[in-house]
Amino acid sequence: MNRRKFLQSSALFSGAFALSPLELAAIPRPQASLRSPEKARNIIFMISDGMSLGTLTMSDLYSRNILGKTSHWISLYEDRKVSRALMSTASASSIVTDSAAASSAFGGGIRVKNGVLNTGPNGEKYLPIWQQFKENGKKAGCVTTVTITHATPAGFCVNSEKRNAEPAIAEMYAELGMDVMMGGGDEFFNPEKREDRKDLYSVYRQKGYQVIQDASGLENLNRNQKTLGVFSTGALPYSIDRANMNELKNTPTLADMTKAAISQMKDHPQGFVLQVEGGKVDWSAHANDVAALIHDQLAFDEAVKTVIDFAERDGNTLVIITTDHGNANPGTIYGPDATQNFNSIADYKYTNEYLLNKIHADFNLQQVKDWIYEGNSIRLTDDEARQILGFYTGIEKEDGLYNYKKLPFKLYSEIQKKHNSVGWISMDHSGDYVEVAAYGPGSQLLKPFVKNTELHDLMLHAAQIPQKQKKIS
């Protein structure tokens, strides 16, 4: 080696260690290119709505301990198949977002106030990303386990000053010509349930859509037609209830809908974009319902497998897997019996929602205790049974989002905690940073820490579509 060069390089090397941390931080670092060297023909954006890190952790623990396998999401980390990041989830009005503002950050590329979809404080509207991709010739769709008109799918597709304007959002999808839309929400399409008596199913059929309303309909879809699949009034059933109740088995899983949506759009010459939402992960967190939470997260995880299997075969598909915000921050609690207690969740047959809905004011204490043991293998004390029964006799009352019947969700989760070692910090959204994983062409553009709005730009860069002016009115 040339001695002079060696000494010069040694001086530079040793000099670096003489710099202060602030000076080191100021040294320019290579930046990722804003354009992907490989073009993403398709994009699949997956959202486990309301997934705190504890939810991802517990579903993987359950999968390992009870099912004997690593969850697919965590396997992607173990096998180093994905780029990984933390993401801040704030909205324009709060460090804690709702789903409408969160989806608008992904969909419109801007932070808006909670409660609105791609709409600014003065009514200005921002172009939803699925509309932009359709303008560039791609097919676009959404599948979800809640109503297809709910905030998360709507945030990629429409502008609305009110996230709850679901009857109007159902009409907007038809006007925009979205290619595949699947989920719940019959009350927003059915003339017998809409206040204005409009028959939106007929509107969609007149526009050339095939309309399906049960899982068997997914098996014979015409690839040459757009698809509207509405499988329930309100949200689809929780996964654990669907698995254990025969009357629910003809509703599709998230993986079923995802596979069908990909099949419908994958041969389009200009490619497709698809949003996949595990919406009932959020609802179960609002209810502090651990069995519902874990099983719906695992159902989302099966959809992850469906998507990654396709993306690996295809080679031209960018997959983004994330959540829009945390919710209730559940987690396992230290103790000598923590593992055994957590594993007892495998004995739960139903959601807390189903269990508590079956209790009536005329139950006696023994009937309450017998029913809870049948559903969860938990032996209540007389005092616990009396507390639960108080909610049905008017003595006690509990509020909460998606708790329409004022059921004792919080009380019962506290009782369960003694047996399953799972605790919750609240019954609502949280502002913690969340996980992002990206696979396929464009995944290298994911920085280690991002704002939620940056995923909007990442999708456009990966597909090599010029960024349009976000504000459209």
Domains and CATH numbers, the chain: 42-330+428-462 (3.40.720.10), 333-423 (no CATH)
Contact between 70 and 300 under an 8 Å Cβ cutoff? The reply is no
The 10s digit of each residue's pLDDT in 200-209 is 999 999 999 9
Return the SS3 of 84.
strand
CB atoms within 10 A of CB 321: 26
Contacts of 285 (CB under 8 A, 6+ apart): 50, 52, 55, 293, 327, 328, 330, 427
Neighbours of 381 (CB within 10 A): 11
Adjacency order of strands within the sheet including 139-147: 209-212, 226-230, 180-184, 139-147, 272-277, 42-47, 317-322, 434-439, 83-88, 449-451
DSSP E strands: which ranges in 12-119? 42-47, 83-88
- Burial class (CB within 10 angstroms; exposed 0-12, middle 13-18, buried 19+) of 81: middle
Q: Distances in Å between the alpha carbon of 398 and those of 189, 329, 362?
A: 32, 20, 19
Residue of higher predicted confidence among 128 and 122: 128
Of residues 219 and 169, the one with the higher pLDDT is 169
pTM: 0.90
Rounded distance between C-alpha atoms, residue 78 and residue 64, angstroms? 14
Tokens 């899982």 identify what position? 215
**H helices then E strands: how many in the chain?**
19, 14
Q: Which of 28-42, 145-159, 395-409 has the highest mean pLDDT?
A: 145-159
Q: What are the pLDDT digits (tens) for 129-173?
A: 999 999 999 999 999 999 999 999 999 999 999 999 999 999 999
The DSSP bridge partners found for residue 44 are 274, 319
Q: Which of 152-156, 245-249, 308-312 is predicted least confidently?
A: 245-249
